Structure 1
Amino acid sequence: MTATGSPHLMDARTACARRRRSVFIEVAPWRVMATGPDPIAGSVPGAILTSVKSDFAGRPTASGGHLPLPEPAAVHATLLAHGVGPGDDLVLYTRRIEELSSAARAWFVLTWAGFRSVRVLDGGLPAWTRAGGWTDRAAQTRPPAPTQDSHAAPSFEIGGGGSSGIGIGGRRVLGITDVQEVADYGTLLDSRPMSAYDGALDDPRTGHVPHAVHAPSTELVAPDGLLRSPTEMRKWFLSRRAIGSHEVGAYCGGGVSSALLVFAGALLGQQVGLFVDSWSAWARDDSLPVEQGAAPTRSTVVDTDCA
């Protein structure tokens, strides 16, 4: 995808040219996304090593999902320990093309927590090396800022965890009630594989949120690991009634693959709310309805124009 001028996405050539002016953050996925040895040795020089589970997720609770949002202050404190502040130019990347959604999850958390300049490297580390970027054997961390208290953080207007609302950076977090309303009156996207969306007949707590539309986030990534063109992505969203002034939301198993739908929506100028707790919380609550089957259903209560 062409990333020129985007406030959210950076192409590899631009990233190479801006290496000394940006803070690169390597994001490891919360689970292994691809088999076999790592095809690329080393990391972007000076990159900070992070992971979804330890840096961009909070502690799970009995009633929530397995990758809840962290507290905003904790996000700031983590990066401040590396000398990184809210005004720095951050570039997020993953080592493999299959892991792009993990960078999108980090983007969501950082912008939600108030970081002002956060971009995802289109195509990740493979695109970086194709563009002539070199790597170090081990990623480095920036030294802690000597004059700042690593426990200090600005005040926030939003709560952490899985609370609903609009974050400082304009990201919308959906709660259970929000999800039900979006499914009934807007468009709720389920980014999991079809097998998870369908559910198993012998397990009534598998399937999807009623009226959710199957929308696997993997389809947004081309074989070369780059995001598909804006035209292709817009058609993809339109085919699922996910472009327009109506409410659009997304979920998956734990708020990672669906974060890529939120990210793609932002590239198109379409706000997509994220149900961070996702299916890992929904299926646990026996009072919440579950729908099974391959054919997506649509609420007949309202039919909002997608123009």
Structure 2
Amino acid sequence: MLSSFFTIFIFIFIFLFASPLVHAWRPWPPSSNINNNNNNNNTSSHYPFSDSKKYEGSSEFVQLRYHMGPVLTSNITVHIIWYGTWNRNQKKIIRDFVNSVSDTTVPHPSISAWWRTVQLYTDQTGGNISKSVILGEEKNDRLYSHGKSLTRLSLQGVIKSAITASTRPLPINPRSGLYLLLTADDVYVQDFCTSVCGFHYFTFPSLVGYTLPYAWVGNSGKLCPGYCAYPFAMPVYLPPSNRKALKSPNGDVGVDGMISVIAHEMAELASNPLANAWYAGQDPTFPVEIADLCEGIYGTGGGGSYTGQLLDAHDGATYNINGIRRKFLVQWVWSHVLNYCTGPNALDH
């Protein structure tokens, strides 16, 4: 979908009405504690809300189709716009994530192995999504050029300012550029914290001058960590007994929460950059895309209110994927080859 948020009602619907159709889920005992020889860490189960049916999608329930549009087959360059105030460590966490996507030297389970599922998607010529994802140019907008309350259209204005700046403008790359607009924790964006944590779309030539695939993701650390930085923060409506958050792997709840949303949007931008390639549903303005199908699933058995089997680092932090010098928690994506959600930390890999 063009928005990334915790669509719990979808999982409740599947659980209540579609569970007889689920044949791709792989049940694993939630209390199991299995050694991971590659990382010398343990898997663990996390029930943030309650013990619920565990599933990983249903190939019968999902009607994912290709609609003949382009996917990002050329080497992908991620250009970042830092809107507002960001500290050096926050930027480094996000840069390390982007740089890890194509790094095949990272120990298993790695981000590059996670991206291999995204690579399975092709265009009408049979060309796969590129395995090469690199960090491109960056632009700082420290002075909040469009204010601290942004609409979806004003986000496109921020991008236009970045590519038309008089000094060090961002390169204009409609074919393989991926423009990542990140707003600081004191910036409110339309629908942020109420229905979205991030979304992707493309810029309008009438506003920006070019059609550029872009994604916006907000830092929810101050505004709504319990909504957008879950499971590193818990919703306030939960009873205290169910409000125990997991420890974030990089010590910044807002940014660690952003990483999974960034991954979600990058996967969907690569597979559906102009809203006419890979998605389920009949409405291209409200599609269900390859990451939406796995919303809230981070490990084997995940689904509903259950994150799935995750990994525990030596310092007590929770993660599921290794990156360059860091660990991250990233949701799984749908494989149209396997017909279920998958990730490199799956226990049956």
Which structure has more strand as a fraction of its residues? 2
User: Of the two structures, which has the highest relative contact order with CA contacts closer than 8 Å and spacing of 6 or more?
Assistant: 2
Scaled by the length of structure 2, what TM-score is found? 0.28
Q: TM-score, normalised by structure 1?
A: 0.31
